[in-house]
Amino acid sequence: MPFIYGNRRQALLFPPYLEDYISADDPVRVYDAFVEQLAFASLGISLATDQVGAPPYDPKAMLKLLVYGYAYGIRSSRKLEQAVHHNLSFIWLVGGLKPDFKTIAEFRRGHREALADILGQCVRVCLKLNLIAGNTLFVDGTKISANASRHKNLSAEKAAQLLAGAEARIQAILAEAEACDQAEADQESLVHLPEELRQAKSRQAKMQAVIKELEAQGEKSLNLTDRDCRMMTTRRGTVTGYNLQAVVDDQNGLLVHTEVVDAATDRGQFVPQIEAAHEALGGKCKTACGDSGYADTSALKTLEDQGITVIVPSQEQARHRPQENPFGKDKFVYDGKREGYICPQGHFLRYRKTDRKLRQITYQITSAVLCRECPHFGVCTQSEQGRSIVRLVDEATKEVLAARFASAEGQAVYQRRQARVEHPFGHLKQDLGMRTFLLRGLKGVAAEAGLWAVGFNLKRMITLVGTPELLRAWQPA
């Protein structure tokens, strides 16, 4: 059976216009239409054509290139340059423009704040199309490596050691130069400060600056390549990176808000992420859900006080097999009238002190003798001062949250959380391979997160609505 062969010398009749190369329902047209209807003025990107100097590339075309590239995992400026030469959809999208990689990189670097803000306008588009309800929001975070080696991290102790070494080397070089000058005192001096001295002084100045910066920021370590990244623990080990926070809407799994933070854990992030999502939505959600990494009762109480139903498990609830303790805190009965606890043996633990910083109240047995004479001494407590119980100032809120999470309704919402919030992260890492940021600094990584989030939402919208419907919705009036 013969093969089918190609023929490079076959005469072809190509369409006369670039527009004809892309079909009417090609998904690339969605990215084109989305960028066309953006409010560039609110993004801080000027579209003025009367600028002084050499004419720049059309900002709309450059933004389309970045959004479309990030949506399909093409982030490198060199790969984007290659795409506008060889990839037909990219060629059509930018109208045949051929910016080089330096121009692409400069546009991305110069518009980092704008790129981070595009998601806000995308959310408003989704609201108009009824693709985002804003009733139930899920929050989660994932670690993304920074474009910096962990070996470039310096602690204050290590910086002090390097500083001492640099200063010692400077003194040795100066002593060597002095000895040489004395030996050749009757000759014309041919001795000059060597290059090694200049390098040693440079190291000295750099270490002094690092130590000063660490003291000013109160940080334990500092990365010399990317000052904003932090050491973080991931499943792949300890890396220098950032914590990417995302808020996902329950209705269709679309992203409402993203933020890249330098916090190594999720603790303390739940409330600011939900509040930022409220700002993007123009209103408050009814239910907010997160995993046990966000368990901070005093912070969650601020949302509860606003009438928002919070579903976040405690660290104890997150353990699938909680350890049964016959003398655990749950076996002690709180007496609100007497403001104290009653132990399983019927003895009273009275108020002792309040830690306002930790927002904790400590209760202790009225007499240590009662504990020491108790048959369960050594099991219930080994303290000579007797058993004590720590209760949060917001313990009542903690109990409400625990009961809500354990309820059937709470479990149903929490199960949906995993399906919704893991989808964008899985797409980000597995499909797009975005496990390391290309840009550096918080502004740079925020720009990349914004581009990824918009790309994800647009691909999701194409799946939900379809290209023709989206294009009709975005047709100019």
- Of the candidates 297, 369, 375, 366, the one whose C-alpha atom is nearest the C-alpha of residue 335 is 366
Burial 436-475 (b: 16+ CB within 10 A, else e): ebebbbbebbbbbbbbbbbbbbbbbbbebbebeebbeebe
- Kindly state whether residues 46 and 158 are assigned to the same domain: no
d(CA 384, CA 189): 78
- Residues 170/197, Cβ–Cβ less than 8 Å: yes
Instruction: Kindly list the distances between the CA atom of residue 316 and the CA atoms of 40, 264, 274, 398, in Å, as whole numbers in the listed order.
Output: 48, 21, 24, 12
Instruction: Kindly list the distances between the CA atom of residue 338 and the CA atoms of 263, 333, 348, 351, in Å, as whole numbers in the listed order.
Output: 41, 12, 9, 9
Query: For residue 409, is it within any domain?
Result: yes
Query: For residue 451, is it within any domain?
Result: no
The single residue listed with the structure tokens 């000295």 is 204
- Kindly state whether residues 92 and 174 are assigned to the same domain: no
In the chain, the number of structural domains is: 4
- Which pLDDT does position 190 carry in this prediction? 44
- One digit per residue, the tens of pLDDT, for the chain of length 477 reads 678 877 788 877 778 888 888 999 999 999 999 999 999 988 888 888 776 667 788 999 999 999 999 999 999 999 999 999 999 999 999 999 999 999 999 999 999 999 999 999 999 999 999 999 999 999 999 999 999 888 877 666 665 665 566 556 666 666 666 666 566 555 444 445 566 667 766 666 766 676 676 667 767 777 778 888 888 888 878 889 999 999 999 999 999 999 999 988 999 999 999 999 999 999 999 999 999 999 888 899 999 999 999 999 988 887 766 567 888 888 888 888 888 898 988 899 898 888 888 888 888 988 888 888 898 888 898 888 889 988 888 888 888 898 999 999 999 999 999 889 889 999 998 888 888 999 999 999 999 999 999 999 999 999 999 999 999 988 875
- Kindly state whether residues 249 and 160 are assigned to the same domain: no
pTM for this predicted structure: 0.82
- Kindly state whether residues 143 and 251 are assigned to the same domain: yes
d(CA 280, CA 258): 11
- Which pLDDT does position 418 carry in this prediction? 86
- Kindly state whether residues 24 and 119 are assigned to the same domain: yes
10 Å CB burial of residue 416 (0-12, 13-18, 19+) is middle
Query: For residue 39, is it within any domain?
Result: yes
**Domain limits for position 235:** 136-147+231-319+399-442
Q: Domain holding 246: CATH number?
A: 3.30.420.10
Domain ends where: 386, 416, 431?
386
- Kindly state whether residues 214 and 236 are assigned to the same domain: no
- Kindly state whether residues 218 and 313 are assigned to the same domain: no
- Which pLDDT does position 82 carry in this prediction? 96
Instruction: Kindly list the distances between the CA atom of residue 438 and the CA atoms of 306, 353, 453, in Å, as whole numbers in the listed order.
Output: 39, 50, 16
- Kindly state whether residues 22 and 60 are assigned to the same domain: yes
- Which pLDDT does position 189 carry in this prediction? 46
Residues 6+ apart with CB under 8 A from 375: none
- Which pLDDT does position 399 carry in this prediction? 85
